């Protein structure tokens, strides 16, 4: 799955690669996320790539899931993980040159438990905390 986002004049490509295309309840589904700078200039990005939920804070990534019918899948909400991450600091931000990629891996079933049989459409969203007040410190 590819989702190209435009932040001003900069371009980031976000890919979600799943270890399994078919799963049973409780099965681990390894999700690999790749964030690539497809723009023409270096960007400062939040590299923590922490998973969370659309309505939560303290995360850079979250999933939007739809059932085959097109309805939003919200069954995961009954199993949401209560989490709190270490505060962001200068080391959380890095220069990402054109063509460079950063990666993260998480268990989709841990964060978004899929409890209903059927086909799902899964979209991962990169919505990071803002750049540091002094971006040059992150270079």
The model's pLDDT over 39-49, given as tens digits with 9 standing for 90+, comes to 999 998 999 99
Rounded to a whole number of angstroms, the distance between the first and last alpha carbons of the chain is: 30
* More confidently predicted of 25 and 108: 108
In a domain, 74, yes or no: yes
In a domain, 98, yes or no: yes
In a domain, 126, yes or no: yes
In a domain, 52, yes or no: yes
Q: What is the model's pLDDT at position 6?
A: 42
CATH of the domain at 16: 2.60.40.2970
- 53-104: per-residue pLDDT in tens? 999 988 999 999 999 999 999 999 999 999 988 888 888 899 999 999 999 9
> Domain limits at 40?
2-133
Q: Which residue in the block uniquely carries the two structure tokens 């850079």?
A: 60
Number of domains in the chain: 1
In a domain, 138, yes or no: no
Q: What is the model's pLDDT at position 20?
A: 83
User: Across the strands, what pairs with 5?
Assistant: 12
Residue from 21, 53, 48, 22 nearest 33 by CA: 48
Q: Is 48 helix (H, G, I), strand (E, B) or coil?
A: coil
Q: What is the model's pLDDT at position 26?
A: 76
| Model confidence pTM above 0.85 | no
In a domain, 39, yes or no: yes
In a domain, 139, yes or no: no
């Amino acid at each position: 799955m590819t989702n190209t986002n435009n932040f001003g004049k900069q371009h980031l490509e976000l890919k979600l690669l799943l270890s399994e295309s078919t799963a049973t309840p409780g099965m681990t589904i390894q999700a690999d996320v790749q964030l690539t700078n497809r723009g023409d200039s270096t960007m400062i990005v939040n590299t923590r790539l922490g998973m969370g939920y659309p309505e939560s804070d303290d995360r850079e990534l979250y999933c939007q899931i739809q059932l085959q019918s097109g309805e939003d899948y919200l069954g995961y909400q009954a199993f949401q993980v209560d989490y709190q991450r270490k505060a962001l600091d200068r080391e959380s931000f890095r220069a990402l040159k054109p063509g460079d990629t950063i990666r993260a891996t998480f268990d989709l079933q841990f964060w978004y438990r899929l409890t209903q049989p059927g086909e799902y459409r899964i979209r991962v969203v990169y919505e990071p905390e803002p750049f540091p007040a002094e971006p040059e410190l992150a270079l």
